[in-house]
A and B are shown apart, each in its own frame.
Chain A
């Protein structure tokens, strides 16, 4: 009985962490990089902006309808003489928080439903997918309006409403990924070595199903911001919190006289959603292994 020969570990100089590889891909996408920079700036503004520019967006600080740049107000004032710059900065926080929170919520619901359906199949899948379809066929904005109208327009309720109406895509993507991955050999191997269902689902399959879900989640932040803007434009918003959509909604009747009061927050929404969308696209390119070969 001789001791087995020690085989020296093969150095594989090219094997890098997959995240590093994705970053490499992402960096190559110029549009996505620019968008990432813009997005970072917006997020920084949302976080520290209110401390640097502490004017309360609900305070009347000057005469109404003072145009941008005049009288020291960079973006002018609205119909009550409130500072639009303050509204934009303070509103960034609300818009982005709602966007991210709603996306988290829809990812949470979607992943749970999709994972259970894709993993267990059978009647569980039937039931959950019928429920998903039920939510899918409801007109989303109308459904969200109903929820907000019924339960009151507070920030958590608006977030909840947006999350509840937009999780179906995540559920379907997760399910299809689970259906694919659960048949792969390493999963079978894990199952054979006695891994419990919970471990299989969340430690083995889910991490490998994540890339498309991450992309979807990123895009969802953008659509959630739009959703919130839509709801607040219609007046279904917490009137004590300023958000971009709310600024547009409350100023829209003055659009002919003071168009900047709606264009400025409109541009803010546009730029943010576009940036999120481009970053999502970049993530898609970077994380999708099939595209990577191209």
Chain B
């Protein structure tokens, strides 16, 4: 009885911050969580470095104003309460009073203002805080973000790893732009997150320990987190299997995912990546050659069998993606797919003026940036041969070589993976915005330009009514799926793996790029 009441109380307490946690299981304090990072960490300071490998330790070391539950609802974190003005032009954050940095200094609105400036200057996602003109600090615990236009994307940009509040008294000792290379980005890192840095040895591990003065009473549950750096997916798989690792995120190889799913002690789930929003697509350069004709792009879509990609290449681990926005996003609107139809494909190619001559209609090239997607590229080559399109696969010596080809639009087709990063304004617009053509890899590398799409994106960026925004993005997705600057095939099958000792793993919307102060070990 007592246990039940206690459990009920716990559940009620948690409901505020974790809406659907109904299991009345009491988290245990203490223990060392052994987890893993899939590649070397360039920078632990998530205010200046993007990417999922920085995100995991970054979100433990630094706190952000908000956090999100798995229903995409903002929850208080560093900001106790927040308020968006009627006109959408000011966002007021009321910070918690008891937040301190790991060195004991209090966290104030000055730090928020400083962090926004640092992120605006150094972080690659310029669209996150572009409309933020200034941050006023009427008192130590109130920060007011003044915007030049309404910016609904700001809400998601204030969570996860995207708005890490860094201490001004540490990182403010030089020029703002020099924070990118600050000596304390990788050692003696000071944040206000649930865990503080014990040791960082690149290539080996990041070790974090509990920050006892964390501003949320009673958290974190864990005493210590050891993040081993294991770059080989097969080695990680073995470590999960034999219990050396309690948990890991962002596992993406279908073979390994299916292998780990068979292990009794492991739970393997694709939940929790909605805001990361990783999608795979076949990029097509819309500015040159036959691919400039939308009929050719459609013919290619009709010739490429998504079903084969899902079943044979992804082995059932990925889900369908049809529109550029990740299916888990509230803005996703599923579009009519291109069911494989070789006759229709051939007819479209004939119509576009590419009849079969000496067995082929045209020659195209296809690129890939990393070995993991080579099967997809080989598949496209084989699939397009069926409609008499000759495809030459171009190998790139390394990732930067491929990135340069993409960034300068020196390609016909390429396999590509792009992340939504929360709000479409941050990670989706960049691919279709006609003012962002050929600005490096993961810009609008397809040279796509459509005035209506530009207009829709501009309207959606400032629309504060969620329903109207969703409608705008609905039309946007329809046009994209129809004009096919990229052919959306599937989501990246990112999976979180954890064994039965782990309670409450991070399955929100940010994958592991979120504070795991609520994760615990059962024994």
Contacts and interface: CB of A to CB of B under 8 A. Distances in A.
Nearest to A56: B385
A156 to B, nearest CB: 15
A82 B382 contact: yes
A190 B110 CA distance: 94
Interface stretch (B45-53, B286-294, B373-381, B452-460): B373-381
A203 interface: no
Contacts of A240: 381, 392-393
A253 to B, nearest CB: 6
A148 B401 CA distance: 13
A135 interface: no
A250 B253 CA distance: 14
B312 A79 contact: yes
**Max chain A C-beta neighbours (<10 A), residue from B259, B371, B377:** B371
B395 A238 contact: yes
Contacts of A153: 395, 397
Contacts of A80: 312-313, 375, 378-379, 382
A257 B312 CA distance: 13
B241 to A, nearest CB: 12
A8 B379 CA distance: 77
Contacts of B374: 235, 239, 250
Interface residues of B, number: 21
> How would you classify the secondary structure of chain B's contact residues: helix, strand, loop or mixed?
helix
A228 B339 CA distance: 40
A64 B255 contact: no
A58 B381 contact: yes
B397 A239 contact: no
A248 B487 CA distance: 30
B397 A150 contact: yes
B398 interface: yes
Interface string B247-258: 000000101000
Contacts of B253: 253
Contacts of A256: 255, 259
Contact of B382 (A58, A149, A152, A253): A58
A238 B365 CA distance: 13
Given A239-B378, A239-B393, 7 more contacts: A60-B382, A60-B383, A81-B312, A152-B395, A236-B397, A239-B395, A240-B381
22 contacts: A56-B385, A58-B378, A59-B382, A59-B385, A79-B313, A79-B375, A80-B313, A80-B375, A80-B378, A80-B379, A148-B397, A149-B397, A235-B371, A236-B395, A236-B397, A239-B374, A239-B394, A240-B392, A250-B374, A254-B255, A256-B255, A256-B259
